[in-house]
Structure 1
Amino acid sequence: MKSFSRKLGLVEKFMTLGNEVGGGLIVNIVYIEGFLTPDTIKKALTLVQKRHPILQVYIVEHEDGFYFESEGITEIPVQVIYKEDDSETIKIAEQELHIKFTHEKSTLCRVTILYSESKSNSCEIIITFHHGIIDGISCMKFIDNLLFYCQKIIDGENIPEVEYLEFLPPAEEMLNFDLLNENKLENYQLQKEEKEAQPQLIIEQTASVNQRFTRMLPRMLSKENTKILIEKCKQENTSVHSAICVAMLFASAQLFSTDDNINFSYAFPVSLRKYCQPKIPNATLGCFISILAFNQLINQDTIFWNLARECKAKTHDALIDGVHINLLKQQGKL
């Protein structure tokens, strides 16, 4: 593997600071039909790590900030667990969310393989990443690469020399800031300040970082229900993404027994890949995202599909105006 070093970008640094206080992690659970031995998975992981330079780095803090460095990097660590109960999967994944990556010379990814005595022809893989090296698209590509190499190994095929991808600079150094419309951004900010009241944070009680615990709430739609949801969103002139955002707002509002307006803040990541020069292909792993954030009032008179259409419109306008790009531009000036 090559040796390289570079300073963390804005988003990478933000995720690293989150990791310092017990956050900034992404945990994936992969359910696999068909038996894979730990040896097969480890061999495939070696090939995936060799292909992607972002899997060959650790983080070091110097006087002028955090850096990715690769000299002396270790292989992706793998642990194997034989579980007694299916519910253990979520519990183990939740525990992974609370295990910080250290500043040692170890990769910012770790893997846990779960086997069950009751299901001999399947297994589960929990993959934990430092969010500073990965985004949602990259998670899917990592899993795709891993299973691709596993299949090649199982089939006994000769695997050609692994293509080594380029270690890219931070997203803000590749963004095309010419896409920004400064006049529209000024109007957008003024309208946002006029229309949106700032939500009040409700704190029931305080707890130290070590006492906080994040839960995972897995939900899965059947193929049939997914088709129904897509068709309904088309009929209502909104998007599936907006409908899911509003569903989460409604679910959160039900937690409060009040007839008053509830002012929520919600946010979601936006991929920056197509806004870079050159565009970053999905095959490249990394954290290439920005954030769009909105405030929203909810009350008993709020109509679900009306709000879903409003959510879609606000998201569309923000993307057209380049709010997500401007966020990194402004942060870079601080």
Structure 2
Amino acid sequence: MIANRKLGRVEQAMETLNRCAKTWNVITISRIKGPLSEEVVRQALDLIQHRHPRLNSRIVGSLNSLRFQTEGTAKISLRVVNKLDNWQWQEVVHEELNEEIDSSKNLLRAVLVHILSEDHVSYLITTVHHGVSDALSCVRLHSEILEYCHKIVSGEVMNPVASLDALPPIEELLPKWTKSFSGRISGVFLFLRLGFQKIWNRPETLGFEKYAPLAKRTCGMVHRQLDPELTQQLVNRCRQENTTVQSALCAALLFTVARKIAKGKRKDVRVSCLSYFDLRKRLEPAITDEHMGVLASSILGFHTIHTNTSFWELARDVKQHLEAVTKHNDIFKMILMSKDFIKFFLAVPNEVSATVSVSNIGKVNIPNVYGAFELEEISYLGSNSLYAGVFATNASTFQGKMLLNFVFSLPSISQDTMETLVNNVVSCIIEVCDFNVVFTPIHK
């Protein structure tokens, strides 16, 4: 299927990051139990490349004239790696985080990691260009790959896989008012308003332990899991406190950073939080989960943590802000201005964009059994070396267990510092889920 067209503004922004910020991709990791072979995965990748128009595309042209082009697209590459121990999949993810995609060839690559110390355990790791995918797209894609793997090993004769219709740029799917002159002006006003709020609130951040120019930055990762019991405790406590898991995760990261900034002193700490939203059901027409694309937006919120602010008070404050911005359509305005925001941070790489960033896709609603294959875990993360000094996490919940992938730009935050911060976040979550423990504010 030929699906050539110009890139939309968001897609252009993502390709600009891909070319100028080393990596800006979505990496998805599945732990799979079952006899998964290179041959079977190879066939499944060929099928999904045929099914999804953007995976059968490449990006050509200069930054001011970018186009998707089907002709000349290379097959999705598949690398096979053998690792002895279970934790070593993280080594492969670290490599993928720091390996850019050659978008002139294709927009996805895959790695199959066999764990030699366990019987029939593998990790499937995909790296997808952020201009054609978001986290929900990639999680759904892994489910589709495993379904094809099941059909292949079962000997099911598959007719040629039908290609999905190619989506237009997300800007064309936004509400009609965004396409008017006043809609474009409202986007500019949002850009100016956030700039003013940042100057007025002066949010504190982790800053730079060590500054490096963009070309010398790399992306690091710390992985953690909350067992099903703790995950359920968090969900239950959020309901009782009239807030959401997203807001609680934001509060946990914000409190952790605020405690580090306060260093035990009694002081108020001003912070900012970047949260992400799925737009699929808000578009016109609504987009189903089977389609891939950049179908998400984000918004920045500003908060002050006082010396007596409780954890759940902050979580409710975050929730109220997120509800307010969705009612005022700021998430659509962010899409309109995304290219301008990225140009700004590329031009000023020493600017810290936010105190914390939280992307949470919530409960992953895909099957866990695909014939001979069992999906035991699935998580994701966005590679990032541009946004230095930001404490960021990517969360998903599957089979009752929450998986958290924290990403950061090295050397602005060191690996040791990040490990400590992540451990403190987990401790914070445990603390606030225990009804018998009184949460200690930031002057701990």
TM-score using structure 2 length: 0.69
Partners of 1:63 and 1:300 lie apart in 2 by 48
Alignment of 1:158 onto 2:177: no
Kept after mapping to 2: 8 A contact 1:4/1:71: no
- 1:4 is displaced (CA, Å) by 2.9
Tell me how far apart the structure 1 counterparts of residues 299 and 194 of structure 2 sit (CA, whole Å): 16
How far apart, CA to CA, are the structure 2 residues paired with 1:112 and 1:158?
26
Which residue of structure 2 aligns with residue 215 of structure 1?
Answer: 220
Which range moves more in the overlay, 191-200 or 236-245?
A: 191-200
The answer for the alignment partner of 2:268 in structure 1 is 261
Percent of residue pairs identical:
29
Structure 2 unmatched runs, 5+: 342-444
* 1:25 aligns to 2:20 (yes or no): no
Q: Per the alignment, in what secondary structure is the counterpart of residue 119 of structure 2?
A: strand
Partner in structure 2 of residue 246 of structure 1: 251
CA separation of 1:103 and 1:333: change in aligned 2, threshold 3 A: closer
CA separation in 2, counterparts of 1:197 and 1:272?
28
- Separation in 2 of the partners of 1:317 and 1:65? 37
Provide Cα deviations, 1:122-172, integer angstroms capped at 9, x if missing partner.
Answer: 111111111111011101110110011011111111223312101111101
Alignment of 1:5-16 (within 5 A): 5-16=4-15
User: Amino acid of the residue matched to residue 285 of structure 2?
Assistant: P
Between the aligned partners of 1:297 and 1:117, the Cα distance in structure 2 is: 49
Distance in structure 2 (CA, Å) of the matches to 1:12 and 1:209: 21
Match of 1:312, as an amino acid? K
* Residue of structure 2 in register with 1:236 after alignment: 241
Pairing of 1:1-334 with structure 2 (within 5 A): 2-20=1-19, 21-62=21-62, 64-104=64-104, 106-178=105-177, 197-199=201-203, 202-256=207-261, 257=263, 259=265, 260-329=267-336
Q: Is the 8 A contact 1:179 1:322 kept in 2?
A: no
Q: RMSD between aligned alpha carbons?
A: 2.8
Q: Distance in 1 between matches of 2:197 and 2:300?
A: 16
Distance in 2, Cα, partners of 1:223 & 1:206: 39
Maintained 8 Å contact 1:292/1:323: yes
Per-residue deviation, 1:179: 8.5
Could you say if the C-alpha distance between residues 164 and 86 of structure 1 is closer, same or farther in structure 2, counting changes exceeding 3 Å?
same
Distance 1:288 1:327 in 2: 12
Code of the residue aligned with 1:102 in structure 2: it is D
Separation in 2, partners of 1:3, 1:323 = 34
Secondary structure of 1:282's counterpart equals coil
Which residue is equivalent to 2:400? none
The CA deviation string for residues 60-100 of structure 1, in whole angstroms up to 9 with x for no partner, is: 12474221111111111000011133332112101111111
Shift of 1:279: 1.1
- Distance (whole Å) between structure 2 residues aligned to residue 244 and residue 72 of structure 1: 43
Rounded to whole Å, the distance in 1 between the matches of 2:270 and 2:210 is: 20
Maintained 8 Å contact 2:84/2:115: yes
- What SS does structure 2 have at the residue aligned with 1:290? strand
Larger displacement relative to structure 2 (139-148 or 252-261): 252-261
Aligned residue pairs total: 331
The TM-score normalised by the length of structure 1 is 0.90
Structure 1 residue identity aligned to 2:58: Y
SS of the residue aligned with 2:260?
coil
Shift of 1:235: 0.4
Tell me by how many angstroms 1:332 deviates: 8.3
Change (3 A) 1:234 1:331: closer
User: 276-285 or 252-261: which moved more?
Assistant: 252-261
